[in-house]
Amino acid sequence: MFAGYKLEGQRKSPDFISKCSISTDRSRAVLLNRAAFAVIALTLSFSTYAYADSAAYNYKAHCAACHGATGAGDTMIGKNLKLRPLGSPEVQAQSDEDLFTIISKGKGKNRMPAFDHRLSRDQIYDIVKYIRSLKQ
């Protein structure tokens, strides 16, 4: 073989063929490893993005119906229950543990339901952090 061209009468030796198949197997393995790495990297980046939005998502899914999108309590339910805005100094003055307890155990008989069976501890703490971000 000369510069990639097969010369007449020249045959490929079995040794050459086995080296080519080993080389091809290695190339496939490298490509598979790179593809697997890319899939893992993309999965982690999307899961991190999803985790960053989980507090806002959980707030919207479980809290916004009463407390409103901005936490002002300006919904029909919020107005009827006379909810304080979550960004108000009175709410913001409560400790994280107090807010966690209110969210997990509920408050009042017919006011706020308990979420300890619907949300994990981490999700509730994320909502507490989200409430802190609503500070006026």
**Class of domain 54-133 (CATH, top level):** mainly alpha
Task: Specify the amino acid at residue 93.
Answer: A
Per-residue pLDDT of the chain (136 residues; tens, 9 = 90+): 555 555 555 555 555 555 555 556 677 767 677 777 777 776 766 654 455 468 999 999 999 999 999 999 999 999 999 999 999 999 999 999 999 999 999 998 888 999 999 999 999 999 999 999 998 7
Q: What is the pLDDT of residue 20?
A: 53
Q: Where are the domains of the chain?
A: 13-51, 54-133
Eight-state DSSP code of residue 114: -
Torsion of CA 58, 59, 60, 62, to 10 degrees: 80
What pLDDT sits at residue 28?
73
* pLDDT given for residue 8 in this prediction: 57
3-state secondary structure 54-101: HHHHHHHHHCHHHHCCCCCCCCHHHHHCCCCCCCCHHHHCCCHHHHHH
Residue type, 119: L
pLDDT of residue 16: 53
For residue 100, give the nearest of 81, 78, 126, 125 by alpha carbon. 125
- pTM for the model stands at 0.61
